[in-house]
Amino acid sequence: MDITIRAALPADYAELGEITAGAYLADGHLDFGDGDPYLHTLRDVAGRAARAEVLVAELGGRLLGGVTFAAPGSPLADIAGPGEAEFRMLAVAREARGQGAGEALVRACLERARAIEGVEAVVLSTQQGMEGAHRIYVRLGFTRTPERDWAPIDDLLLLTYRLNL
């Protein structure tokens, strides 16, 4: 069976929100654990879908994970500049990892970016400990852009990557 990538439907929002929040919590990417204020953002798939495109990976009717694709001009783009698209909140359920869902979601973001006139690159921010995601990015040709690294809050340095299309 192949993994299907599709737009998230309202019926997916709660489950994808829990997959995303659960992945960040289980992997230790939230400094304040269950009390981290970013959990609300991770769970708010409906809010993201109203401002960007949310994609899900599905296998045999089961959601594996998702990602938020921010086209140029999206209010969800944190670091994208002119001619750049961005993706955020890539998450795959722990039990679904190793099946290719993360890479398929990133590839879908690249396809969407290539389809937008004037988009020359895709950028992203990631935490230092997200090593599995870093391997996907490097395998797909992304390069580190340390000059763009940034900290949305004190003591949280986000690393950045860019892929020229």
d(CA 44, CA 34): 15
Task: Determine the pLDDT at residue 125.
Answer: 97
Give the model confidence (pLDDT) of 25-77 as tens digits. Answer: 988 888 777 888 899 999 999 999 999 999 999 999 999 999 999 999 999 99
Q: What is the pTM of this model?
A: 0.94
Strand partners, 123: 86, 162
